[in-house]
Amino acid sequence: MQTPQYQIVSIDRDYSKGLTPRFFTTRPQQLAGLIENNEFEIIINQINQYFIEAETITWKTIIEESFSCISCGLTNCCFKNQYHRKMIELQKYLIQLNRKFPSLQFIHPINNGFLCFEISIFSLQ
């Protein structure tokens, strides 16, 4: 009987463009043969885009946060703020990726405090 083995690959956070969570787009060597360079770069760029959109300040976010402050956070029970909505969208995107790549599991960066983005590689041995 084969037992599943897994290895975790970490993609480090890129602090070169500020404090908004961003991750390096260079594919780690461990993922060679499992995902193409350009596809990996597209995936990481999309993940980075979710964080950029989540932290973008607009009139809508100002109004949302003002109502939240005035109501002592009670409006958060009725609707989610922009950051929370984008993190939910990111989670759905990661679930979609996990279905597309059955030997890989993309783990939401919130699980490790946005310090890195982890991908688990599964193999039978």
The domain limits of the chain are: 4-124
The model carries a pTM of: 0.86
Q: What residues have CB less than 8 Å from 97, skipping those under 6 apart?
A: 43, 104, 106
47-83 pLDDT, tens per residue?
A: 999 999 999 899 988 988 888 888 887 877 788 888 9
Q: Quick one: pLDDT at residue 125? A: 61
Q: Quick one: pLDDT at residue 18? A: 86
Q: Which residues of 2-12 are buried (b: 16+ CB within 10 A; e: fewer)?
A: eeeeeeebebe
CB 105 within 8 A of CB 98: yes
Per-residue pLDDT of the chain (125 residues; tens, 9 = 90+): 567 688 999 999 999 988 889 999 999 999 988 999 999 999 999 999 999 999 989 998 898 888 888 888 787 778 888 899 999 999 999 999 999 998 999 999 999 999 999 999 987 56
